[in-house]
Amino acid sequence: MKDLYKYRALLLLSFVMLGSVLAYAQDKKYRARVSLQYTKIMDKESYIGISAKYKGKDGFDQASDLEFSIYKVDQNDSLIYLGKVKTNENGKAKFLLAADELENEEATVFNYIAKIENNERFEDGETSVSFSVANLTAKIEMIDSVNQISAVLTDASGIPLQEVPLRVGLKRLYGSLQIGENRYETDENGSILIPLVDPMPGVDGNLNFEVVLNENDTYGTIKAMVNAPIGVPVVEESTFDERTMWSPPTKTPLYLLIFPNLIILGVWLPILILTFNLYRISKSKTQ
Amino acid sequence: MSTDFDQLVYDLAPRKFSWKGNLWVAILVVIILVGSYSYVQQVRQGLVITDMRDYALWGVYISNFVFFVAISLVGSLITAILRLSGIKWSTPLTRIAEIIAVAAIIMAGVTIIIDMGRPDRMLNLFMHGRLQSPIIWDVIVITTYLVISVLLLYYPLLPDFSILKRHAPESARVRKWYSGLSLNWVGNSEQRRIYSRSIKALSILIIPVAFAIHTVTAWLFETTYRPGWDSTNFGPYFIAGAFVAGAGAVVAVMYVLRKTYRLENYITDFHFNKMGKTLVLLCLIYLYFNINEYLIPTYKSTEEEAVHLQSLFTGQYATLFWTAIIGGLVLPVIILLFPQGRKPLPLFLVSIAVVVGAWWKRYIIVVPTLSHPFLPIQGVPESWRHYSPTWMEWSITFATLAAALLIITLLVRFLPIIPIHETSEERGLVDAAQTK
């Protein structure tokens, strides 16, 4: 009888252990590593960029299809729910802030929180970002017969921000081409002035420059775009309609049509005559 | 009735195969059947059955193609050049040369089709071909050369067919074929006039076309920017090599036929001696081109060329390279410089070495270069960087070689190996031939 209890206890213990293992296997969730970045593109949009990854079996992977709830922290430290956003296949998401979100506020520092809540694959968690509002303006002007790009960086109240590094680039299809130095620091007026000396090609002569305050601890990322028709117009040198060595049969270069065909004719005409001569031989029996 | 003429016809008329001949045909057919099986697999599964990948785009098939093209040049050498030069001793060799040329050029065309991943799209070459592409030039020139070679084989056969339709020891059915193929040849003045003019015109016409076929084949390589092929020397280099391969093939075939059909009175030691001397000259010319082709790139040793040449001189292909150069060119020259070396049997053995060396030389020209491109492909499996033909590739290649030999064998079975009419003319038996 005592043995029977012992066996029952062992059986029960086995089930409990097996159940624990299965339950653990089902409940094991990944911990997402999340970073937030505030970005403002002047005269266009402001958003909170989210980048999420996690440590999988073979190292870090992008956390795709991960939903975040976005909250704004008000002055009383209470959370205001703004909405949800999901990461794409690269583990990135972009939560657009409403145009009036950062205006009419007495606060100088804004706090936002992105939360992972009740996700099947990932543990609950939250990440916050704090920033102050700044403004960046850029324009092209001609000084001493040289085109110059000037930019001014100010805070929300219009006070120039000094000794802040800005980067100037020319927008291209796959990214930004650096103009001049790697970075320019703003002067006491919060401005920089970069001469555009070298001729730069652009479609119809249009060039799109950007001045960027990149991932600043206080102000996040701020971009100001400026378009100017000061480039060298790109002339498309397509040979599509020309007769070239690389064109299709209908557009073979004329000399390649004429001379080889003359040679072919010059060889095949005698061949045809020689073949016809066989017929003549067969008909010359009686002569 | 001229006894001499009867004897001549008896000696030179085609004969039925003995059991050895039938066995030879059976062996060739078996090799072709094995190759056909492999080719069916290739058509069903694609070129994946070969070892050709992104690096070695051209493998043993293309080297075999270049070999066939080279062999085919012999038709223009023996038939046209020697005929136009007024050299009479080559008469017994002309038919052999023409038969080899026709067989080789047919198989060259077949080999190109074999190399196609989608042979069902072959007509696209003609329908959508671009004259800018050397591939199209090759297609045009091979077709042209085939037609001229067939005509050059057929024209001198007309009087022979006329003789054979009356005198050949064949069945009535075969004689009927001879009769039809003789095109009512009676040898009257008009027929002889057209005949002579046509053969002369063909002899002239085939020389530039033969040179073109080899030059264009060389351009296929030259126009592809690769180490080992980036040369302006390739056209004459290929032509010189083709003359060597073709002359070697003629010597080998004429020895076998002389032995088999007991033609010692027609293909004499004198002919072997002459062909031996011709072969020496051709080998020396080809050696000269080889020195040009390898010495200057070695002297310059640009990075990619150096890697390529190292693989030939001391690396992976060194054994093949030196065997082909020394065994297929240098030793033959040395042996053939001595009169004893130009006797039938030694010359036959030398010619076999020359032909085998010529085949491997084409392999060496094609494959090592593809292993060392100027712009290596990134991220490909290591196995793709090396090429070693699969057994199916070998079986298909051997089948094409066997098919060429089978064409030669069958033509030899039904055509006189030595021109009867021309020989009778040279021996003063022409009147007898006319009256009979």
Q: Within chain A, which residues score under 70 in pLDDT?
A: 1-27, 104-107, 286-287
Residues above pLDDT 70, as percent of chain B:
98
Same structural domain, A152 and A229: yes
Rg for chain B, CA atoms, rounded: 23
A244 lies in some domain: no
CATH topology of domain B2-428: Formate dehydrogenase/DMSO reductase fold (1.20.1630)
- Which residues of chain A lie closer than 8 angstroms to B205, CB-CB? 267, 270-271, 274
Q: What is the pLDDT of residue B203?
A: 93
Give the sign of the dihedral formed by CA B132, CA B133, CA B137, CA B143: negative
Among B194, B197, B201, beta carbon nearest to A284: B194
Separation in Å, CA A31 to CA A55, A63, A65, A129: 8, 10, 14, 19
Q: What is the pLDDT of residue B14?
A: 92
Q: What is the pLDDT of residue B413?
A: 93
Same structural domain, A69 and A95: yes
- Which residues of chain B lie closer than 8 angstroms to A278, CB-CB? 154-155, 183
- Which residues of chain B lie closer than 8 angstroms to A256, CB-CB? 131-132
As for the ipTM of the complex, it is: 0.89
Closest chain A residue to the Cα of B147, Cα to Cα: A271
The conformation of residue B135, written as its DSSP 8-state character, comes to: H
Name the region of B416 (left: φ>0; alpha: ψ -120 to 50; beta: rest).
beta
B206 touches chain A (CB under 8 A): no
Instruction: Tell me whether residues A253 and B132 touch, CB distance under 8 A.
Output: yes
Q: What is the pLDDT of residue B74?
A: 85
Phi, psi of B265 (to 5 degrees): -80, -15
Mean pLDDT of B374-386: 85
Q: Using one digit for the tens of pLDDT, what is the confidence trace for B27-41?
A: 999 999 999 999 999
The CATH number of residue A229's host domain is 2.60.40.10
A276 lies in some domain: no
Instruction: Tell me whether residues A274 and B198 touch, CB distance under 8 A.
Output: yes
B202 touches chain A (CB under 8 A): yes
Single pTM value for the model: 0.75
Q: Using one digit for the tens of pLDDT, what is the confidence trace for B307-336?
A: 999 999 999 999 999 999 999 999 999 999
Same structural domain, A161 and A108: no
Rg for chain A, CA atoms, rounded: 36
Number of domains in chain A: 2
A148 lies in some domain: yes
A277 lies in some domain: no
Instruction: Tell me whether residues A260 and B137 touch, CB distance under 8 A.
Output: yes
Residue where a domain stops, chosen among A184, A209, A233: A233
Structure-block tokens of residue B225: 């920017």
Same structural domain, A213 and A161: yes
Q: What is the pLDDT of residue A213?
A: 94
A271 lies in some domain: no
Residue where a domain stops, chosen among A70, A105, A131: A131
Same structural domain, A125 and A212: no
Q: What is the pLDDT of residue A157?
A: 85
pLDDT exceeds 60 at position B436? no
Residue where a domain stops, chosen among A233, A264, A280: A233
Among A246, A248, A277, beta carbon nearest to B194: A277
The conformation of residue B375, written as its DSSP 8-state character, comes to: S
Q: What is the pLDDT of residue A13?
A: 62
A241 lies in some domain: no
Same structural domain, A117 and A138: no
The domain containing residue A97 runs over which residues?
Answer: 33-131
Q: What is the pLDDT of residue A16?
A: 55
CA–CA dist B181, B26 (Å, integer): 28
Closest chain B residue to the Cα of A258, Cα to Cα: B131
Q: How far is A282 from chain B (nearest CA, A)?
A: 5
pLDDT exceeds 90 at position B102? yes
Q: What is the pLDDT of residue A9?
A: 64
Residue A202 pairs in a beta bridge with A233
